[in-house]
Amino acid sequence: MWDEISVLAYAHPTYAVTRDLAFDTYCMQHPEHYGRSAKSYAAHLMRLCCGLEYRADPTVYTAIRRWLDGKVELEKPTLLSERGQRTVLSLRATTDPIEHNRLAREWAEDVWAAYHSQHALARQWLQTALEHH
């Protein structure tokens, strides 16, 4: 399913609007694979926050990448057992790109809500990344 979304994002610019948000959402629902290290976990958690709370601001994404590319010591948070009710499969409900983006955002919001116990940490990391940008 993720491969299908990626193809759509490259084939149609409207789908690309939420590609990064959807990717980070997917990664935070599967941190055993996409968040094995503290840095990769932090990257996806921070990028999910950026996608929702910073309107996917490219300068914030850049700050995250630059900060994490440096010598940053992070402690990986405990993996959550509950990571949201919606899944990537909810995006199959439509072939309309505008509706797809709405569903992707709702999925991301659902996953972000499941991570409520880590919001303060994600925001703290983001603030630090922005200060070092």
Q: How confident is the model at residue 94, as a pLDDT?
A: 83
Domain boundaries, the chain: 2-131
Q: What is the pTM of this model?
A: 0.92
pLDDT digits (tens, 9 = 90+) for 4-39: 777 777 777 887 889 899 999 999 999 999 999 999
Q: Alpha helix locations (H) across the chain?
A: 2-11, 13-16, 19-29, 31-34, 38-53, 58-69, 97-114, 119-131
CA distances from 97 to 6, 69, 90, 91 (A): 13, 33, 14, 10
**Nearest-angstrom CA–CA distance, 55 and 108:** 12
